[in-house]
Amino acid sequence: MKSVFRMSAIMIKEFRQLSRDRITFGMVVMIPLIQLMLFGYAINTDVRNIPVAVVDQSHSAVGRVITEAVKATQVVTVTRHFPTVVEAEQAINAGQVRAVLVLPSDLTQRIVKRETVGQWLVDGSDTMVSSALLQLQRMPLQELANYQPPSASTFEVALYFNPSRRSAVNIVPGLLGVILTMTMVLFTSAAIVRERERGNLELLITTPVRPLELMIAKIIPYIFVGLIQVGIILGLGHLIFDVPINGALSQLLLGTLLFIAASLTLGLMISTVAQTQLQAMQMTVFILLPSILLSGFIFPYEAMPNVAQWIAEVLPATHFMRMIRGIVLRGADLMELWRDALWMVGFTMLGLLLASLRFKKSLD
């Protein structure tokens, strides 16, 4: 009986501590809620609304009918029109569209001869998106009377960057974003908290170090850690899985540095809020889960509802996924991916400012 009483007292104390620890209590409620919403609402393997472009060299009513028929499938959304194939290929390379429908100048003659009516130029770096687009290869065109293409193929398909559709080609560059998010945010989220727990914060207060200087000094060592991880992942990915590195190493280095800086800044913001290292690790989970599920690493960005896409756009990992796959697989440069690069620069600057202000406030 006394044993039960003693155990009950400890249990009551633990429940009270749990109720006072808002971050831990929030984890109990929010983690299952976030996962339920992500997997039930945001995650969708049925790919729809893939952004594509059209190059209609026929300039005919038949070409417009075919374009409308393709749009009616809801698999794709026509976002751009280009006069030439070269311009369209540049849009694929820059990540503006995932595929291009090319309708040749002799479109009408092809229909009369019952030949394939056109060609899809597809970004094959994302295997799930390319698989969805391959479904349009044998698309029936009821709008064109008596048209029956040979071998039941309506369109020819050319897969760029990953013609063999190997999943490793898509996974390895994306894995770089996940691992860097995990390590960079986790390391720096405990940076300020660790100083507080060890009693070093009071020492830092008495030094002439400014809050912004402290924030920058805290993240610089971890930049080298991140670069080591980049070398390991891409190096072994190339040697073991034969993942191509088509972009310039200078572009790869600069793009990675932008993401490392943004991730470290995010970790610093967490560290100025958390009171203990355990809380910092718990808060990191709130960043890590959406970064894996909403960034396009596993599930296509285009398949997500608008609300999930808005959330994804806030995360550094989403922008890095586009950048790293564009540079490594498509050979793009940062000028073509300037929107994502500019966003990460702005995120880093704003994050450093907020973290330094938050740190200064905590000193008061």
DSSP letters for 19-39: HH-HHHHHHHHHHHHHHHHII
What's the whole-number mean pLDDT along residues 250-255? 94
Given pLDDT bands bounded at 50, 70 and 90, which one contains residue 358? confident
Mean pLDDT score of the chain, rounded to an integer?
A: 84
The string of pLDDT tens digits covering residues 130-175 is: 888 888 888 777 666 566 666 567 889 999 998 888 888 989 999 9
The string of pLDDT tens digits covering residues 57-69 is: 999 888 898 899 8
Q: Which residues, 6 or more positions from 50, have their beta carbon under 8 angstroms from its beta carbon?
A: 75, 76, 77, 98, 99, 129, 132, 133, 300, 302
Report the percent of the chain where pLDDT is more than 70.
83
| Two tokens, residue 28 | 């109990």
Alpha carbon distance 205, 214 (integer Å): 11
Alpha carbon distance 325, 323 (integer Å): 6
List the one residue out of 322, 257, 279, 294 whose CA is nearest residue 186: 279
pLDDT at 18 over 70: no
Candidate ranges 62-76, 80-94, 288-302; pick with highest mean pLDDT? 80-94
What letter does residue 84 receive in the DSSP assignment? S
- Any idea which of 58-62, 176-180, 298-302 has the lowest mean pLDDT? 298-302
Q: What angle do CA 237, 239, 243 make, to 5 degrees?
A: 50
- Judge if pTM exceeds 0.85: no
What letter does residue 81 receive in the DSSP assignment? E
So what's the pLDDT on residue 251? 95
218: number of Cβ within 10 Å: 20
Alpha carbon distance 10, 228 (integer Å): 46
